[in-house]
Amino acid sequence: MNRVNVGFLGFGTVGQGAAKVLVRNALEINRRTGRDISVKSAVVRNTSRTIEPELKDVALTTDPQEIINDPDIHVVVEAMGGDEPARSLLLQAVANGKHVVTANKALIAVYGNELFEAAREHGVSVAFEAAVAGGIPVIKSIREGLAGNRIQWLAGIINGTSNFILTEMRDKQRDFNDVLEEAQALGYAEADPTFDVEGIDAAHKLTILASIAFGVPLKFDAVYTEGISHITQADTAYAQELGYRIKHLGYASHTDNGIELRVHPALIPERRLIANVDGVMNAVLVQADAVGPTMYYGAGAGAEPTGSSVVADIMDVVRLDSASVDNRVPSLAFQHDALSDTRIVSKAEFETSFYLRILVEDKPGVMADVSRILGDEKISIEAIIQKEPDADSARVPVILLTRKIVEGAMDRAIAGIEALDSVEGNVTRIRVESLA
């Protein structure tokens, strides 16, 4: 395969970003792979969409079959998103003997097991570096660079849109929806941005990271998922006052009880490197037995950063074309028949510290009631902030930091606190992760 033709299913932010990198760096890519890799055609819904000037020679079509069934196309890049028709088209491409590269984490997290099985059957590769953390080569690092390690846990800021929103809210006191609109205009957000702000996109990515870290099948449904839409500017300010930053975190760990998979906002001590990963940047911190902690940092979204990962995958699958399936790096890092169905830890068993914000009546005895309820569940308080009441309100926010406790106990304590007459509304709870 000296001349390699690539067909794109989807030619928006990621598709065109990758194609631009392929065109601009063609010489470097040839020097690295010994192959001429060119973009032959691309599928879009609307052929009058804006195309970057350097990609004017790419043939546009609205019919994916023109790519899937083109014998001259060796690699299919899927950058359309969603589950259907992407899933069916990729299964068809694989059955036609084409290698597949995808940026679609939703597809891999939910249908990856099926897709990898089909690829093995047909002797082709499915590569998905761009699906996690945009331009950061974190899949390759964990799957290959850390292959000799037993991975204990990993934690990542893996949704660029959420990180961008939280950073702008903290630094510029900007409004949530206003920043989200900007993230959409910059091409960071998913087609449905609730995937970003409700944690679903990060859960897709965490599913993939956990599989390649621990050698378990992809289990998207098992991820506990919480987004950032309930985080207020007041919480970001109180966190700062306590020496923390609020980040949206994906966390996976291999414990004695099984595998813990969770995605949620978290207070992280501001002295940690990962707490200082701002804007659209992502970072994944991996704790492994031989190497210790390593951290991977870079742009988590955007056209060319994501394109960089897509192009690296194209080069990889092209290089490995002549290798037998058994001599390729397994899709999920472990041999497919060596994946283990390890138990998933339930939410009630998670053990973390907590930040609690409680709106209470400004009168004697309220704090004693709150402390008694926490004490009954053996929850120790580590820090407390009580603010002055607003001029027009008899309520005051009380902010507590607790020591580590299992989530089941915290659920019971919060139910008890919310039932007090002197407490207004729901208690805001954010987990605290030391990531030490």
Q: Which residues form the catalytic set?
A: 205
Closest separation between CB of residue 240 and ligand HSE, Å? 23
Q: Determine, following the binding rule CB under 6 A, whether residue 78 of this chain makes contact with ligand HSE.
A: no
Nearer CB in complex with ligand HSE: 225/402: 225
Binding mask 182-201 vs ligand HSE (x if CB under 6 A, - otherwise)?
Answer: ------xxx-----x----x
Is the Cβ of residue 303 or residue 374 nearer to ligand NAP in the bound state? Answer: 303
Q: If we measure between CA atoms, which residue out of 152, 165, 191 comes closest to residue 246?
A: 165
What is the 3 state secondary structure string of 51-104? CCHHHCCCEEECCCHHHHCCCCCCEEEECCCCCCCHHHHHHHHHHCCCEEEECC
- Parallel, antiparallel, or unpaired: how do β-strands 423-432 and 381-386 relate? unpaired
Residue where the block lists tokens 């995958």:
313
54 with 47: CB under 8 angstroms? no
Percent helix, percent strand, percent coil in the chain, to nearest 5: 40, 25, 35
Span 107-166, contacts to ligand NAP by CB under 6 A: 130, 134
User: Which parts of 49-68 interact with ligand NAP (CB under 6 A)?
Assistant: 49
For the beta carbon of residue 59, count every other beta carbon within 10 angstroms: 12
Q: How far is the CB of 267 from ligand NAP (least distance, A)?
A: 27
Torsion of CA 106, 108, 113, 115, to 10 degrees: 120
Q: Which long-range contacts (CB under 8 A, 24 or more apart) does 184-190 make?
A: 186/280, 186/302, 187/12, 187/13, 187/301, 187/302, 187/303, 188/160, 188/161, 188/164, 188/280, 188/301, 188/302, 189/161, 190/81, 190/161
Rounded Cα gap, residues 16 and 13, in angstroms = 6
- Is 301 a binding residue for ligand NAP by CB under 6 A? The answer is yes
Tell me 198's DSSP state: T
From 31-39, 139-147, 183-191, 373-381, give the range in contact with ligand NAP by CB under 6 A. 183-191
Which of 166/427 has CB closer to ligand HSE? 166
Q: Tokens in use for 336?
A: 């497919």
Q: Any contact of residue 7 with ligand HSE (CB under 6 A)?
A: no
> Which listed range, 41-49, 117-125, 145-153, 176-184, lies at the site for ligand NAP (CB under 6 A)?
41-49
- ω before 330 within 30° of 0 (cis)? no
> What are the two backbone dihedrals, phi and then psi, of residue 374, each rounded to the nearest 5 degrees?
-65, -45
* Residue 160 touches ligand HSE, criterion: CB under 6 A: yes
- Residue 196 site contact among ligand HSE, ligand NAP, none (CB < 5 to 8 Å, cut-off depends on kind): ligand HSE
Residue 12 touching ligand NAP (CB under 6 A): yes
CB closest to ligand NAP, residue no: 12
Residues 6+ away with beta carbon under 8 Å from 22: 6, 29, 37, 38, 39, 311, 314
67, 68, 79, 339: which one binds ligand NAP (CB under 6 A)? 79
**DSSP conformation letters of 294-353:** EEEEEE-SSHHHHHHHHHHHHHHHHHTTTS-GGGSPPTTSS-GGG---PPBPPGGG-EEE
CB 93 within 8 A of CB 87: no
Q: Which is nearer to ligand NAP, 209 or 370 (CB)?
A: 209
Is residue 174 within 8 Å of 183, Cβ to Cβ?
Answer: no
DSSP 371: H
In the complex with ligand NAP, the residue whose CB is nearer, 13 or 225, is 13
356 contributes a contact to ligand NAP by CB under 6 A: no
Instruction: Name residue 331's amino acid.
Output: S
Give least dist CB 159 to ligand NAP, A.
10
Q: Which of 38, 70, 182, 187 binds ligand NAP (CB under 6 A)?
A: 187
401 binds, among ligand NAP, ligand HSE, none (CB under 5 to 8 A by kind): none
Q: Interaction with ligand NAP in 306-335: which residues (CB under 6 A)?
A: 306
Count of residues interacting with ligand HSE (CB under 6 A):
11
- Member of 59, 191, 323, 415 binding ligand NAP (CB under 6 A): 191
* List 102, 161, 207, 331, residue binding ligand HSE (CB under 6 A): 161
**Residue from the set 4, 14, 126, 146 that interacts with ligand NAP by CB under 6 A:** 14
- What residues between 282 and 301 interact with ligand HSE by CB under 6 A? 300-301
When CB distances are held under 5 to 8 angstroms depending on the partner's kind, the choice from ligand NAP, ligand HSE, none that residue 354 binds is none
Considering only 6, 22, 75, 103, the residue that binds ligand NAP (CB under 6 A) is 103
Which residues form the interface with ligand HSE (CB under 6 A)? 134, 159-161, 188-190, 196, 201, 300-301
Tell me which residues touch ligand NAP (CB under 6 A).
10-15, 43-46, 49, 79-81, 85, 103-105, 130, 134, 187-188, 190-191, 301-302, 306
